[in-house]
Copies of this chain bind each other. A is one copy, B any other.
Amino acid sequence: MEEGMSGFYVKAAGVRGGHGGGDGGSGGTKCGRWNPTTEQVKVLTDLFRSGLRTPSTDQIQKISTQLSFYGKIESKNAFYWFQNHKARERQKRRKVSVDDQTKEALRSEEKISSAKHFIPHHVVESERVMETLQLFPLKSFDELAEPEKLRLRATECRDFAHGFGTTMDHPTLDLRLSFL
């Protein structure tokens, strides 16, 4: 059971890709990234190998406290470490399997054994849905609030192309909020 849980924290960085424009990473303080010491990595790895995959908030806290003895660290670092490690482990797994038996995989339509999230649950199935428009919403659409409804199959790609695209400044920043 993968439950457990983990609380985390995000530092809020805002501007994400900066290389292209403007502020870009420039910037001043570049000490934004935690650099684990070998001891820290070892402990984390040990824990991971011991089976710890998604430590709870408590555990994260304890772990980081312990690790702080070897060097600077914040709870979120430990959290991210586990998230990334697990994800990458899996990513590699998937990649390898794909790489290994991709072509042959076709043998069986679907035998994904132990992986439950390898399979695209809700998979696409879309594309075709538009066949029959929903002429009658069953529920006036205003009632629902969850993505269950908002999640229209219409989620096609049709993106960009908003003619203007280029920074049109901010049209009406002042009255932006007035539409509500």
CB of A29 within 8 A of CB of B61, answer no
Is A135 an interface position by the 8 A CB rule?
A: yes
Q: Which residues of B contact A159 (CB under 8 A)?
A: 29, 31, 71-72
Question: Chain B: which residue is nearest A27 at the CB level?
Answer: B157
Contacts of A34 in B (CB 8 A): 155, 158
What is the total number of residues of chain A having a CB less than 8 Å from a CB of chain B? 108
Instruction: Report copies per complex.
Output: 2
**What CA separation (Å) do A13 and B36 show in the bound complex?**
15
- Given the contacts A1-B19, A136-B178, A166 and B74 also touching, CB distance less than 8 Å: no
Contact B66 A176 (CB under 8 A): yes
CB of B158 within 8 A of CB of A91, answer no
Please name 5 further chain A to chain B contacts, defined as beta carbons within 8 Å, in addition to the given A8-B91, A17-B19, A76-B95, sorted by A numbering. A9-B99, A11-B152, A57-B150, A74-B155, A75-B95
The 9 closest A-B pairs by CB, nearest first: A17-B17, A9-B95, A31-B157, A14-B148, A12-B147, A71-B160, A14-B167, A72-B159, A13-B166
